C-alpha cells in the first residue's frame, strides 16, 4: 500500500512512523506503556468515552474555537486570505487543554490517583493543573528552573490551581530536563501515577494519543472552512516545538493532497549560529525520551541545548510523526528566528488586536511568505495556538521596555 494514501494507518503496531517513534524506555516503564496502550484502545472502542470528552470540550474548554478571517493581515501581505484557528481562546489560553482533557479521562479510567506532567512555557502545566483541579486529583508539574524564572505568571497560576511545581536544575534546566525528571518520577511511582505528556513525543502510544486528542483542531478547521469557503484551504501553517498543535491541525488534512502543510521551527539566534531549537532543520535522527526522531546532537550522540526566546519551543527534539512527514515530503518545515517572531508578534498586535503567544508568533513570521506564495484567491490557515499574556515580561525584556 502506498504510504501517502494511508496516513491514518500510522503509527504501526510497534508505534512506528516509518523509522521514527517506538518505545525506547527502561524496562520498568515498559509494562506501564503497554497498559496505557491497551487502555487507550479500550477507550477508543467505547462511545461513552468520546461523548463525555466532547461535553467537556464544549462546556469547559469552549470548543469549537472560532475560525477567524484575519483581514488586515491579509491586506498587509497582499496574498492569499489568512485565517486563524483561534485555539488561544480555549480555557487556559492555549491548545494544550484539548490533550489534557483527553488524558485525564484516560487516567481516571485506568484508576490512577496521582498525576504528573512536564512543562516548558507552562501552558501544558497550567492545563494539567486545571483538569486535575476539576477532577480532584493531586498534580505535580516538573518545570526547568530556567523556565520557572521566565514564565513566572504560569508558575503562580499552577499553584493557584493547587498543583505542586517542582523546579528542575539538572542539565539546561529547560523542557527536556523537566521531561527527564517526570520520567524518573514515573519510573519510581509506576503503580498509582499517570504521566500526562504535553506533546506528541515520548514513547508510543503518547505521540498517537496526544495527536488524536489534538486532532479536534484540524477536524473543526475542515468543517468550518467548508462552511465558510465551500472548499479546503491551500495551505496550513503551525509552529513546531514538540509539535502537538501542529499535528492537531495537520493530521485531518494529511490525505487531502491539495493542502500544503508547513511547520515552523524556532531558529533562535539563527540556524547558522547553532543556537536554535530547530531539530528538523538542523538535527539528525536519534533516540531521546522514548522515541526515535530528529534531535539536536553532537558527534557522540550527546543532546545539545536548544535555544529559543519561546520556552514552549525550547526543545532539542520533535514529535516522531513530524520527522516522518518531513522525510516523506508530505510537510515542509521552515524556521523563524527570535527577532522574526518578535516582529510578527507586534504586527499581529497592531493589525489584528490579538496578542499571540511567542510560539505561534514563529508561525506568523512565515505566514506572509506562504500567503504570497499561495497567491490571491488562495486560503491559508494558521493555528493561533496560544495567547501572549504569559509572554509579556519576556517580550518587554526583549524590546527593552519596563513594566
Is 25 one of the binding residues for another protein (CB under 8 A)? yes
Q: Which is nearer to another protein, 7 or 142 (CB)?
A: 142
Least separation in angstroms between CB 391 and another protein = 27
Is 378 one of the binding residues for another protein (CB under 8 A)? no
| 3-class secondary structure per residue, 172-231 | CCCHHHHHHHHHHHHHHCCCCEEEECCCCCCCCCHHHHHHHHHCHHHHHHHHHHHHHHCC
Is 111 one of the binding residues for another protein (CB under 8 A)? no
22 C-beta neighbours (distance < 10 Å), count? 20
Least separation in angstroms between CB 173 and another protein = 13
Is 171 one of the binding residues for another protein (CB under 8 A)? yes
d(CA 289, CA 207): 12
| Residue 24 φ/ψ, nearest 5 degrees | -90, 75
CB burial readout 181-199, b (16+ within 10 A) else e = bbbebbbeeeeebbbbbbb
Q: How many binding residues for another protein (CB under 8 A)?
A: 36
262 near 233, Cβ under 8 Å?
no
Least separation in angstroms between CB 172 and another protein = 9
Q: What is the DSSP track for 59-87?
A: III-PSPPEEE-HHHHHHHTSSEEEEE-G
> For residue 212, which of 242, 243, 252 has the smallest C-alpha distance?
252
Per-residue binder mask for another protein (CB under 8 A), 189-228, x = binder: -xx-------------------------------------
Is 187 one of the binding residues for another protein (CB under 8 A)? yes
76 near 364, Cβ under 8 Å?
no
Is 31 one of the binding residues for another protein (CB under 8 A)? yes
Least separation in angstroms between CB 403 and another protein = 36
Q: Which is nearer to another protein, 13 or 403 (CB)?
A: 13
Is 112 one of the binding residues for another protein (CB under 8 A)? no
Is 170 one of the binding residues for another protein (CB under 8 A)? yes
Site for another protein in 286-315 (CB under 8 A): 286-290, 295, 297, 299-303
161 C-beta neighbours (distance < 10 Å), count? 20
Q: Pick from 176, 251, 260, 330 the residue near another protein by CB under 8 A.
A: 176
| Residue 40 φ/ψ, nearest 5 degrees | -70, -40
Is 183 one of the binding residues for another protein (CB under 8 A)? yes
Residues in contact with another protein by CB under 8 A are 14, 22-32, 170-171, 176-177, 179-180, 183-184, 187-188, 190-191, 286-290, 295, 297, 299-303
Amino acid at each position: 500500500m502506498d504510504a501517502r494514501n494511508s496516513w491514518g494507518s500510522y503509527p504501526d503496531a510497534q508505534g512506528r512512523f516509518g523509522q521514527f517513534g517506538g518505545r525506547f524506555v527502561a524496562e520498568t516503564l515498559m509494562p506501564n506503556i503497554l497498559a496505557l496502550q491497551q487502555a487507550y484502545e479500550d477507550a477508543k472502542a467505547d462511545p461513552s468515552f468520546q461523548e463525555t470528552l466532547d461535553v467537556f470540550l464544549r462546556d469547559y474548554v469552549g470548543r469549537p474555537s472560532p475560525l477567524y478571517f484575519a483581514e488586515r493581515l491579509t491586506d498587509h501581505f497582499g496574498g492569499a486570505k489568512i485565517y486563524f484557528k483561534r485555539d488561544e481562546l480555549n480555557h487556559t489560553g492555549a491548545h494544550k487543554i484539548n490533550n489534557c482533557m483527553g488524558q485525564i479521562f484516560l487516567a481516571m479510567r485506568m484508576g490512577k490517583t496521582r498525576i504528573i506532567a512536564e512543562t516548558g512555557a507552562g501552558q501544558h502545566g497550567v492545563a494539567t493543573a486545571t483538569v486535575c483541579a476539576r477532577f480532584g486529583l493531586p498534580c505535580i508539574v516538573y518545570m526547568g528552573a530556567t523556565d520557572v524564572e521566565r514564565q513566572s505568571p504560569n508558575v503562580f497560576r499552577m499553584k493557584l490551581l493547587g498543583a505542586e511545581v517542582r523546579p528542575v536544575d539538572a542539565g539546561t534546566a529547560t523542557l527536556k530536563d523537566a521531561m527527564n525528571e517526570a520520567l524518573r518520577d514515573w519510573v519510581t511511582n509506576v503503580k498509582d501515577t499517570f504521566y500526562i505528556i504535553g506533546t506528541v513525543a515520548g514513547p508510543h502510544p503518547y505521540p498517537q494519543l496526544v495527536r488524536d486528542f489534538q486532532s479536534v483542531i484540524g477536524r473543526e478547521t475542515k468543517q468550518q472552512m467548508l462552511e465558510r469557503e465551500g472548499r479546503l484551504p491551500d495551505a496550513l501553517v503551525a509552529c513546531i516545538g514538540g509539535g502537538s498543535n501542529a499535528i492537531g491541525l495537520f493530521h485531518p488534512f494529511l490525505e487531502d493532497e491539495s493542502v500544503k502543510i508547513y511547520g515552523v521551527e524556532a531558529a533562535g539566534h539563527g540556524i547558522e549560529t547553532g543556537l536554535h531549537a530547530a531539530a528538523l532543520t538542523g538535527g539528525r535522527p536519534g533516540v531521546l525520551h522514548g522515541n526515535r526522531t530528529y534531535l539536536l546532537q553532537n558527534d557522540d550522540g550527546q543532546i545539545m541545548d536548544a535555544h529559543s526566546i519561546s520556552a514552549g519551543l525550547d526543545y532539542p527534539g520533535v514529535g516522531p510523526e513530524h520527522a516522518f512527514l518531513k522525510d516523506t515530503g508530505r510537510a515542509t518545515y521552515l524556521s523563524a528566528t527570535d527577532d522574526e517572531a518578535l516582529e510578527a508578534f507586534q504586527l499581529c498586535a497592531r493589525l489584528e488586536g490579538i496578542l499571540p503567544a511567542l510560539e505561534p508568533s514563529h508561525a506568523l513570521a512565515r505566514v506572509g511568505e506562504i500567503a504570497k506564495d499561495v497567491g490571491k484567491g488562495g486560503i491559508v490557515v494558521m493555528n493561533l495556538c496560544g495567547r501572549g499574556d504569559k509572554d509579556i515580561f519576556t517580550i518587554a525584556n526583549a524590546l527593552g521596555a519596563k513594566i
